[in-house]
Amino acid sequence: MDTAENPWKILESSLQYDNRWIRVTEHQVLNPAGNPGIYGVVHFKNLAIGVVALDDDGHIWLVGQYRFPLEQFSWEIPEGGGPHDEPPLRSAQRELLEETGLKAREWTEIVHMHLSNSVSDERGIVYLARGLEQFAPEPEETEQLHLLRIPFGTAYQMVKNHEITDSLSIAAIQKIRLMMLEGEL
């Protein structure tokens, strides 16, 4: 089998929902076995952007906020959406400043990922930000944020203890830990 070949056949597509952030399309399909079915796809209109802000003392910043879809509070790395027509680094710099008030001199791209590829096309990019300087945060009106500066090891333990459950944050923190173990940091 050619692994690049799409085994799904779309018979018909219909738009179910559309707003500034997402579009939901339902597809009438023939599945890989040739049987009829449906497949709903959530298209994200922005790129997911995350930032691990790591200072010279080995501390990182987490942002806490109530997440409406989960109906619970969540600790995460600074993150948000970046327009597809904007360079991802510019989006990362804006999100870091908005949520934490930090600006960084050094930026390294560390993670590329698909966030929920069974139902959406959402892609994420995470940056490591170093050489930090503090300014005033500029949160959006939809954000009621809590900031936490903690040792990186504590954040890693929060991932291990399921206290951080956000996928972008987990991937980023584990990637930083791997980079530390491999002597890259």
Residues annotated as catalytic are 141
d(CA 109, CA 51): 9
SS3 at position 31? coil
Look-up: residue for tokens 């892609």? 123
Give counts: helices (H), strands (E), the chain: 3, 10
Q: Where are the alpha helices (DSSP H) in the chain?
A: 88-100, 152-160, 167-181
Q: Residue 44's Cα: distance from chain center in Å? A: 12
